[in-house]
Amino acid sequence: MPNRGRKGVALFIVLGVMMVVVVLGVVILRIVTSNSRLTHHQISRIRAYYACKAGMNLAFDRLRRGTWTLPASPTGVNYYCINGKVDAAITCLATINDTTILPYNVQIGIYPPNSGVNQTTKVQIKTSFTYALTETF
């Protein structure tokens, strides 16, 4: 009967090991979830960046062709929008619907000539993005 005092020790060891495994599993799951959210956020930012680049290319093309005009007033700004405006206070002269860059709105501001460097026109491109877990890729 020398094992009488050691009865149940194996049960406590198994419970302890299981507890450590569960805690490690929870920690690993939180790390993976956090990285997944960070990656999703980063993808949204990159998509918004490229939506801005698309707006920039469109603005340069339209200005080169003469489709969009420069502001008549030296203090005015002409705004053109893709999929809607970013700032509620502005009025878009034209809105282009482009499903390839949804869900992003791109706002293009064209300033008067010589508003920046001499013999140039300042063009400001702005977009906004929201981080939504429901978005699918």
Sequential pLDDT tens for the chain (137 residues): 566 667 788 888 999 999 999 999 999 999 999 998 889 888 888 888 898 898 889 888 988 898 888 888 888 898 999 888 888 888 988 888 888 877 888 889 998 888 777 878 888 888 887 765 444 43
Which pLDDT score, from 0 to 100, does residue 5 have?
A: 66
Task: Retrieve residue 16's tokens.
Answer: 């302890």
Which pLDDT score, from 0 to 100, does residue 132 have?
A: 55
H or E segment to which residue 96 belongs: strand 92-96
Which pLDDT score, from 0 to 100, does residue 6 have?
A: 72
Sign of the CA dihedral 48, 54, 60, 62?
negative
Q: pLDDT of 62-76, one tens digit each?
A: 888 988 888 888 888
Task: Retrieve residue 103's tokens.
Answer: 């869900």
Which pLDDT score, from 0 to 100, does residue 26 have?
A: 96
Q: Tell whether pTM > 0.75.
A: no
